[in-house]
Amino acid sequence: MNTATTRANASRVAERLHRRRTIINRVAIVLSCAAAVFGLFFLTWILWTTISKGIGAVNIALFTQNTPPPQEAGGLANAFYGSMMMCGIAILIGTPLGIAAGTWLAEYAGVRRIGLVIRFVNDILLSAPSIVLGLFVYTLVVAQMGGGFSAIAGALSLAFIVLPVIVRTTDEMLRLVPSQMREAALSLGVPQWKVIVQVLYRGAAPGIVTGIILALARISGETAPLLFTSFGNQYWSTDLTQPMASVPVVMNQFTASPYENWQSLAWAGALVLTFFVLVLSLIARAILSRNKSRHE
Protein backbone atom coordinates (compact mmCIF):
# COMPACT_ATOMS: atom_id res chain seq x y z
CA MET A 1 0.00 0.00 0.00
CA ASN A 2 2.79 2.38 0.95
CA THR A 3 4.66 1.51 -2.23
CA ALA A 4 1.62 2.22 -4.40
CA THR A 5 1.01 5.52 -2.61
CA THR A 6 4.63 6.53 -3.05
CA ARG A 7 4.52 5.75 -6.74
CA ALA A 8 1.28 7.71 -7.17
CA ASN A 9 2.78 10.73 -5.39
CA ALA A 10 5.93 10.53 -7.47
CA SER A 11 3.84 10.31 -10.63
CA ARG A 12 1.85 13.42 -9.63
CA VAL A 13 5.04 15.32 -8.81
CA ALA A 14 6.59 14.33 -12.13
CA GLU A 15 3.42 15.34 -13.96
CA ARG A 16 3.33 18.77 -12.28
CA LEU A 17 7.04 19.24 -13.00
CA HIS A 18 6.53 18.30 -16.64
CA ARG A 19 3.55 20.66 -16.94
CA ARG A 20 5.51 23.54 -15.38
CA ARG A 21 8.51 22.95 -17.63
CA THR A 22 6.23 22.80 -20.68
CA ILE A 23 4.65 26.15 -19.78
CA ILE A 24 8.05 27.75 -19.12
CA ASN A 25 9.36 26.38 -22.42
CA ARG A 26 6.42 27.76 -24.39
CA VAL A 27 6.71 31.17 -22.71
CA ALA A 28 10.43 31.26 -23.50
CA ILE A 29 9.78 30.35 -27.14
CA VAL A 30 7.09 33.05 -27.47
CA LEU A 31 9.35 35.70 -25.91
CA SER A 32 12.29 34.65 -28.10
CA CYS A 33 10.18 34.83 -31.25
CA ALA A 34 8.79 38.20 -30.20
CA ALA A 35 12.30 39.55 -29.60
CA ALA A 36 13.43 38.24 -33.00
CA VAL A 37 10.44 39.79 -34.77
CA PHE A 38 11.01 43.07 -32.91
CA GLY A 39 14.64 43.22 -33.98
CA LEU A 40 13.95 42.16 -37.57
CA PHE A 41 11.19 44.74 -37.88
CA PHE A 42 13.51 47.63 -37.08
CA LEU A 43 16.34 46.21 -39.18
CA THR A 44 13.96 45.89 -42.12
CA TRP A 45 12.69 49.40 -41.51
CA ILE A 46 16.22 50.82 -41.49
CA LEU A 47 17.15 48.91 -44.63
CA TRP A 48 14.00 49.97 -46.45
CA THR A 49 14.54 53.62 -45.48
CA THR A 50 18.12 53.50 -46.71
CA ILE A 51 17.13 51.93 -50.02
CA SER A 52 14.11 54.17 -50.65
CA LYS A 53 15.99 57.40 -49.90
CA GLY A 54 19.32 56.44 -51.43
CA ILE A 55 18.47 54.56 -54.60
CA GLY A 56 17.40 57.74 -56.42
CA ALA A 57 20.90 59.26 -56.14
CA VAL A 58 22.81 56.15 -57.20
CA ASN A 59 24.04 56.85 -60.73
CA ILE A 60 27.25 57.20 -62.71
CA ALA A 61 27.87 60.70 -61.35
CA LEU A 62 27.95 59.32 -57.81
CA PHE A 63 31.15 57.40 -58.63
CA THR A 64 32.73 59.82 -61.11
CA GLN A 65 32.19 63.32 -59.66
CA ASN A 66 33.52 64.94 -56.51
CA THR A 67 31.43 66.22 -53.62
CA PRO A 68 29.55 69.29 -54.88
CA PRO A 69 28.90 72.73 -53.42
CA PRO A 70 25.39 73.36 -52.07
CA GLN A 71 22.56 73.20 -54.60
CA GLU A 72 24.79 71.75 -57.33
CA ALA A 73 25.08 68.30 -58.86
CA GLY A 74 27.95 66.04 -57.97
CA GLY A 75 28.95 62.71 -56.50
CA LEU A 76 31.16 61.02 -53.93
CA ALA A 77 34.11 59.93 -56.05
CA ASN A 78 36.72 61.62 -53.85
CA ALA A 79 35.07 60.23 -50.72
CA PHE A 80 35.01 56.67 -52.11
CA TYR A 81 38.66 56.98 -53.06
CA GLY A 82 39.60 58.33 -49.63
CA SER A 83 37.73 55.58 -47.80
CA MET A 84 39.32 52.94 -50.01
CA MET A 85 42.82 54.28 -49.40
CA MET A 86 42.49 54.69 -45.64
CA CYS A 87 40.76 51.33 -45.13
CA GLY A 88 43.35 49.63 -47.34
CA ILE A 89 46.27 51.15 -45.43
CA ALA A 90 44.62 50.24 -42.12
CA ILE A 91 44.29 46.62 -43.24
CA LEU A 92 47.90 46.58 -44.45
CA ILE A 93 49.07 47.87 -41.07
CA GLY A 94 46.77 45.87 -38.83
CA THR A 95 46.86 42.48 -40.58
CA PRO A 96 50.55 41.51 -40.19
CA LEU A 97 50.75 42.96 -36.68
CA GLY A 98 47.52 41.26 -35.65
CA ILE A 99 48.50 37.88 -37.10
CA ALA A 100 51.94 38.07 -35.46
CA ALA A 101 50.48 39.02 -32.07
CA GLY A 102 47.74 36.39 -32.30
CA THR A 103 50.31 33.74 -33.24
CA TRP A 104 52.48 34.62 -30.24
CA LEU A 105 49.47 34.43 -27.92
CA ALA A 106 48.35 31.06 -29.26
CA GLU A 107 51.70 29.32 -29.69
CA TYR A 108 54.06 30.88 -27.15
CA ALA A 109 52.10 32.64 -24.41
CA GLY A 110 49.48 29.91 -24.07
CA VAL A 111 47.67 30.07 -20.73
CA ARG A 112 50.49 31.81 -18.89
CA ARG A 113 49.67 34.92 -16.89
CA ILE A 114 51.16 37.30 -19.44
CA GLY A 115 49.02 35.73 -22.16
CA LEU A 116 45.87 36.12 -20.06
CA VAL A 117 46.73 39.77 -19.34
CA ILE A 118 47.35 40.55 -23.02
CA ARG A 119 44.11 38.85 -24.04
CA PHE A 120 42.25 40.90 -21.44
CA VAL A 121 43.80 44.14 -22.71
CA ASN A 122 43.03 43.13 -26.30
CA ASP A 123 39.39 42.50 -25.38
CA ILE A 124 39.23 45.99 -23.85
CA LEU A 125 40.57 47.48 -27.09
CA LEU A 126 38.13 45.32 -29.04
CA SER A 127 35.18 46.90 -27.25
CA ALA A 128 36.62 50.41 -26.87
CA PRO A 129 34.62 53.23 -28.49
CA SER A 130 36.15 54.19 -31.82
CA ILE A 131 36.13 57.86 -30.87
CA VAL A 132 38.61 57.10 -28.08
CA LEU A 133 41.03 55.57 -30.59
CA GLY A 134 40.54 58.58 -32.86
CA LEU A 135 41.34 60.96 -30.01
CA PHE A 136 44.43 58.91 -29.15
CA VAL A 137 45.78 59.21 -32.70
CA TYR A 138 44.82 62.89 -32.78
CA THR A 139 46.79 63.54 -29.59
CA LEU A 140 49.76 61.45 -30.63
CA VAL A 141 50.07 62.18 -34.36
CA VAL A 142 48.02 65.21 -35.31
CA ALA A 143 48.70 67.47 -32.32
CA GLN A 144 52.01 66.46 -30.73
CA MET A 145 53.97 65.36 -33.78
CA GLY A 146 52.71 68.28 -35.81
CA GLY A 147 51.61 66.10 -38.68
CA GLY A 148 48.26 67.81 -38.95
CA PHE A 149 45.11 66.22 -40.33
CA SER A 150 46.02 63.62 -42.92
CA ALA A 151 44.97 60.36 -44.52
CA ILE A 152 47.86 58.63 -42.75
CA ALA A 153 46.49 59.68 -39.36
CA GLY A 154 43.04 58.45 -40.40
CA ALA A 155 44.46 55.11 -41.50
CA LEU A 156 46.32 54.75 -38.19
CA SER A 157 43.13 55.33 -36.23
CA LEU A 158 41.36 52.67 -38.30
CA ALA A 159 44.33 50.31 -37.88
CA PHE A 160 43.85 50.48 -34.11
CA ILE A 161 40.31 49.22 -34.66
CA VAL A 162 41.45 46.46 -37.01
CA LEU A 163 44.31 45.24 -34.79
CA PRO A 164 42.39 43.73 -31.82
CA VAL A 165 39.89 42.05 -34.16
CA ILE A 166 42.62 40.23 -36.07
CA VAL A 167 44.59 39.43 -32.89
CA ARG A 168 41.55 37.77 -31.33
CA THR A 169 40.58 35.94 -34.52
CA THR A 170 44.11 34.62 -35.14
CA ASP A 171 44.49 33.53 -31.52
CA GLU A 172 41.19 31.66 -31.50
CA MET A 173 41.66 30.05 -34.91
CA LEU A 174 45.16 28.78 -34.15
CA ARG A 175 44.03 27.30 -30.84
CA LEU A 176 41.25 25.48 -32.68
CA VAL A 177 43.76 23.66 -34.89
CA PRO A 178 44.05 20.07 -33.52
CA SER A 179 47.11 19.56 -31.34
CA GLN A 180 47.82 16.30 -33.20
CA MET A 181 48.89 18.36 -36.22
CA ARG A 182 51.48 20.19 -34.13
CA GLU A 183 52.73 17.01 -32.52
CA ALA A 184 52.98 15.14 -35.82
CA ALA A 185 55.02 17.92 -37.44
CA LEU A 186 57.28 18.43 -34.43
CA SER A 187 57.91 14.69 -34.13
CA LEU A 188 59.37 14.76 -37.64
CA GLY A 189 61.93 17.33 -36.54
CA VAL A 190 60.29 20.30 -38.23
CA PRO A 191 61.19 23.62 -36.54
CA GLN A 192 58.33 25.28 -34.73
CA TRP A 193 58.31 28.33 -37.00
CA LYS A 194 57.86 26.06 -40.00
CA VAL A 195 55.07 24.21 -38.20
CA ILE A 196 53.31 27.52 -37.65
CA VAL A 197 53.79 28.82 -41.19
CA GLN A 198 53.28 25.63 -43.20
CA VAL A 199 50.83 23.68 -41.02
CA LEU A 200 48.93 25.85 -38.57
CA TYR A 201 48.38 28.83 -40.85
CA ARG A 202 46.97 26.55 -43.53
CA GLY A 203 44.51 25.04 -41.09
CA ALA A 204 43.48 28.38 -39.62
CA ALA A 205 43.58 30.41 -42.86
CA PRO A 206 39.78 30.49 -43.51
CA GLY A 207 39.08 31.79 -40.01
CA ILE A 208 41.88 34.37 -40.15
CA VAL A 209 40.75 35.61 -43.57
CA THR A 210 37.19 35.86 -42.26
CA GLY A 211 38.41 37.98 -39.36
CA ILE A 212 40.24 40.31 -41.74
CA ILE A 213 37.13 40.69 -43.90
CA LEU A 214 34.93 41.41 -40.88
CA ALA A 215 37.47 43.95 -39.61
CA LEU A 216 37.34 45.67 -43.01
CA ALA A 217 33.55 45.70 -42.86
CA ARG A 218 33.68 47.30 -39.43
CA ILE A 219 36.06 50.15 -40.28
CA SER A 220 34.38 50.98 -43.59
CA GLY A 221 31.60 52.82 -41.78
CA GLU A 222 33.57 54.42 -38.94
CA THR A 223 33.09 58.17 -38.68
CA ALA A 224 34.25 59.32 -35.25
CA PRO A 225 37.99 58.50 -35.54
CA LEU A 226 38.21 60.12 -38.98
CA LEU A 227 36.71 63.39 -37.73
CA PHE A 228 39.79 63.87 -35.55
CA THR A 229 42.41 62.55 -37.96
CA SER A 230 41.73 62.79 -41.71
CA PHE A 231 39.16 65.59 -41.21
CA GLY A 232 37.90 65.67 -44.80
CA ASN A 233 38.44 67.33 -48.15
CA GLN A 234 35.92 68.61 -50.68
CA TYR A 235 38.31 68.07 -53.58
CA TRP A 236 40.09 65.09 -55.11
CA SER A 237 43.31 64.47 -53.19
CA THR A 238 45.85 61.67 -53.51
CA ASP A 239 48.34 63.15 -51.01
CA LEU A 240 48.29 60.90 -47.95
CA THR A 241 49.91 63.60 -45.83
CA GLN A 242 46.98 65.99 -46.39
CA PRO A 243 43.31 65.88 -45.29
CA MET A 244 41.32 63.42 -47.36
CA ALA A 245 37.60 62.88 -47.85
CA SER A 246 35.85 59.71 -46.72
CA VAL A 247 32.31 58.46 -47.14
CA PRO A 248 31.35 58.34 -43.42
CA VAL A 249 32.61 61.87 -42.77
CA VAL A 250 30.85 63.23 -45.87
CA MET A 251 27.65 61.49 -44.79
CA ASN A 252 27.97 63.04 -41.33
CA GLN A 253 28.41 66.49 -42.89
CA PHE A 254 25.72 66.19 -45.56
CA THR A 255 22.96 64.75 -43.34
CA ALA A 256 23.24 67.76 -41.02
CA SER A 257 22.85 70.21 -43.90
CA PRO A 258 19.58 71.77 -45.11
CA TYR A 259 20.38 71.12 -48.78
CA GLU A 260 18.41 68.36 -50.47
CA ASN A 261 21.16 67.38 -52.92
CA TRP A 262 23.60 66.86 -50.04
CA GLN A 263 21.06 64.81 -48.12
CA SER A 264 20.39 62.64 -51.19
CA LEU A 265 24.13 62.03 -51.62
CA ALA A 266 24.41 61.11 -47.94
CA TRP A 267 21.65 58.50 -48.31
CA ALA A 268 23.28 57.18 -51.49
CA GLY A 269 26.61 56.85 -49.67
CA ALA A 270 24.85 55.00 -46.85
CA LEU A 271 23.27 52.62 -49.36
CA VAL A 272 26.61 51.89 -51.06
CA LEU A 273 28.31 51.28 -47.70
CA THR A 274 25.47 48.99 -46.61
CA PHE A 275 25.76 46.99 -49.81
CA PHE A 276 29.56 46.84 -49.41
CA VAL A 277 29.27 45.50 -45.85
CA LEU A 278 26.65 43.00 -47.01
CA VAL A 279 28.96 41.70 -49.74
CA LEU A 280 31.85 41.37 -47.26
CA SER A 281 29.63 39.50 -44.80
CA LEU A 282 28.48 37.10 -47.52
CA ILE A 283 32.09 36.47 -48.54
CA ALA A 284 33.03 35.75 -44.92
CA ARG A 285 30.14 33.32 -44.51
CA ALA A 286 30.99 31.61 -47.80
CA ILE A 287 34.59 31.09 -46.67
CA LEU A 288 33.47 29.63 -43.34
CA SER A 289 30.85 27.40 -44.97
CA ARG A 290 33.35 26.11 -47.51
CA ASN A 291 35.88 25.34 -44.79
CA LYS A 292 33.22 23.61 -42.67
CA SER A 293 32.01 21.43 -45.55
CA ARG A 294 35.60 20.53 -46.43
CA HIS A 295 36.27 19.24 -42.91
CA GLU A 296 33.02 17.33 -42.81
Coil vs helix vs strand at 230: coil
Contact 51, 116 (CB under 8 A): no
Q: Determine the Cα–Cα distance for residues 134 and 112; give it in Å rounded to an integer.
A: 32
Per-residue pLDDT, 296? 58
Q: How many CB atoms lie within 10 A of CB 184?
A: 13
Find the angle CA(68)-CA(234)-CA(50) to the nearest 5 degrees: 60
Name 93's Cβ contacts closer than 8 Å, sequence gap at least 6.
155, 156, 159, 162
For residue 13, the one-letter residue type is V
Contact 51, 273 (CB under 8 A): no
pLDDT tens digits for 55-98? 988 999 999 999 998 888 889 999 999 999 999 999 999 999 99
Q: How far is CA 168 from the centre of its chain?
A: 12
Per-residue pLDDT, 107? 87
pLDDT tens across the length of the chain (296 residues)? 567 777 777 778 788 888 889 999 999 999 999 999 999 999 999 999 999 999 988 999 999 999 998 888 889 999 999 999 999 999 999 999 999 999 999 988 877 788 889 999 999 988 889 999 999 999 988 887 766 899 999 999 999 999 999 999 999 999 988 888 888 888 888 888 888 888 899 888 888 988 899 899 899 989 999 999 998 888 898 999 999 999 999 999 998 888 888 999 999 999 999 999 889 888 888 877 776 666 55
Q: pTM, whole model, 2 decimals?
A: 0.85
Q: Determine the Cα–Cα distance for residues 140 and 129; give it in Å rounded to an integer.
A: 17
Q: What are the start-end ranges of the H helices in 55-68?
A: 60-64
Q: Determine the Cα–Cα distance for residues 167 and 101; give it in Å rounded to an integer.
A: 6
pLDDT tens digits for 146-186? 668 999 999 999 999 999 999 999 999 999 888 888 888 88
Query: Which DSSP state fits 108?
Result: I
Q: Determine the Cα–Cα distance for residues 169 and 105; give it in Å rounded to an integer.
A: 11
Per-residue pLDDT, 233? 87
